[in-house]
Structure 1
């Protein structure tokens, strides 16, 4: 079957001298893997600018149910980045988000709501002159909702601890070690109340760093086997100063 769809590039793996495997999240068919030939063909060549993490593409592909690697017929950029590849901070953010999505989006079923949200986020990263420090925290909390694990309950004097394992605000520290202390849980609650708005301004830097690490842990607890998100180490170095 020939399909035409928008796609977000998540990850590439070199395959031989002139090919690579590209993992993409498509609007029409969910996550898919494609074999790309990087040498010139009648349809043109795969340009390096189309292989940047989070690149949004228009693709035409020959898709077969029993084939693990689908075949790209044609692809072209749907968005030409104006700043993302040239900005160290934005590039690090894009690498982190792409790796997180690559490890979390394992289902092949489409989710147009999620795709449209991701496209909006990518456009925002590229367009904004300066992203808010809480940007990634708000993104990860919003992503958890699309994945069906959005934190539940509210922070209060009666429920000041957030249980990462069970995804709920609770009265006191659980027996397991996976939880947020009240100061951290308070800011998580503020992010939840922001309803996806990217301007939670008053989170102290040390709390932001802890929350980022703990939200990654939250995903690890709920999606077994996703492995270490290596790009976060690069991102944390970028934000170190």
Structure 2
């Protein structure tokens, strides 16, 4: 399946009256071509905004197999057509696809303010630049995204606050949080490091299985506080990449 992600931002448009972030998935099977903003999109999927600033274009081919349980499994990812980001790794393109779907889901559910647009403009610019580790970028980005939406985790990881309560969005001491959404131990420590917001953070000591676990915890946090949910396929592709 060939997938194209176009990310950009529309700062204003008299012709279409739209104002919003452009993050869209396209598939050749559906025959959808062109670039359009969420607010200005139509059924034909081909409206171009004269006020569009394209930040990046990612094109990849995803070949999906099947697990015995019938779930999608990423078999291979290859560069389908070189765009502006010539030389991007397959890992970076997969993370780009994931970020694309993530932001599009958000934009379908809310009309962000100017600060949110500026946040995305800056962060996508960072993603287009060279980073040490695409997965670390995504892990930091998810918590940065929560902050920009008004769901900033409260407190910090300390010896006395070694747990993170997802429902309340705060670090806490033993016994203060209950339920499956209380993150403890080494995972909570990783949360504390990610909250520093350093996109080039060195997490060489965090193995693939723990990265995958923390990513799912972050997505759970976004789901609890914003209602955001991603497709199963998107999560499976990300899981294959990370862990």
- TM superposition score category, shorter chain reference: 0.5 to 0.7
Match of 2:41 in 1: 34
State whether residues 131 and 200 of structure 2, in contact with CA within 8 Å, keep that contact through their aligned partners in structure 1: no
SS of the residue 1:180 aligns to: strand
Q: Which residue does 2:7 correspond to in 1? A: none
Report the alpha carbon displacement of residue 186 of structure 1 after superposing the two structures with TM. 1.2
Superposed, which structure 2 residues align to 1:1-241 within 5 Å? 2=15, 3=17, 7-12=21-26, 24=37, 31-35=38-42, 37=44, 59-60=49-50, 77=54, 82-83=84-85, 87-128=89-130, 130-131=132-133, 133-173=135-175, 174-192=177-195, 194=196, 196-202=197-203, 203-205=205-207, 206-224=209-227, 226-228=229-231, 230-240=233-243
SS at match of 2:42: strand
Does structure 2 conserve the Cα–Cα contact (< 8 Å) formed by 1:58 and 1:78?
no
After TM superposition, give the deviation of residue 79 of structure 1 in Å. 5.3
- Per-residue CA deviations over 1:52-74 (Å, capped at 9, x if unaligned) read xxxxx98249xxxxxxxxxxxxx
Output the CA distance in 1 between the equivalents of 2:200 and 2:210.
16
Alpha carbons of structure 1 residues 135 and 156: separation in structure 2 relative to 1, 3 Å:
same
Pairwise CA distance, 1:32: 1.7
Identify if the C-alpha distance between structure 1 residues 76 and 204 changes in structure 2 by more than 3 Å, giving closer, same or farther: closer
Q: Which SS does the other structure have where 1:59 is aligned? A: coil
Partners of 2:231 and 2:42 lie apart in 1 by 25
Q: What is the DSSP-based 3-state SS (H/G/I as helix, E as strand, rest coil) of the residue aligned with 1:150?
A: coil
- Contact map agreement 1:15 1:21 (CA 8 A) in 2: no
- The answer to whether the Cα contact below 8 Å between 2:95 and 2:238 also exists between their aligned partners in 1 is yes
**Partner Cα separation in structure 2 for residue 35 and residue 161 of structure 1:** 46
Query: Unmatched 5+ residue regions in structure 2?
Result: 1-13, 58-82
The size of the alignment, in residue pairs, is: 201
Distance across 1 between alignment mates of 2:19 and 2:164 = 39
Q: Which runs of 5+ in 1 are unaligned?
A: 25-30, 39-45, 47-56, 62-74
After TM superposition, the score normalised by the length of structure 1 is: 0.68
Residue 213 and residue 79 in structure 1: after superposition, are their counterparts in 2 closer, same or farther (change >3 A)? closer
Rounded to whole Å, the distance in 2 between the matches of 1:99 and 1:85 is 22
8 Å CA contact retained: 2:119, 2:148: no
Q: Answer yes or no: is the 8 Å Cα contact 2:139–2:215 preserved in 1.
A: yes
TM-score by structure 2 length?
A: 0.67
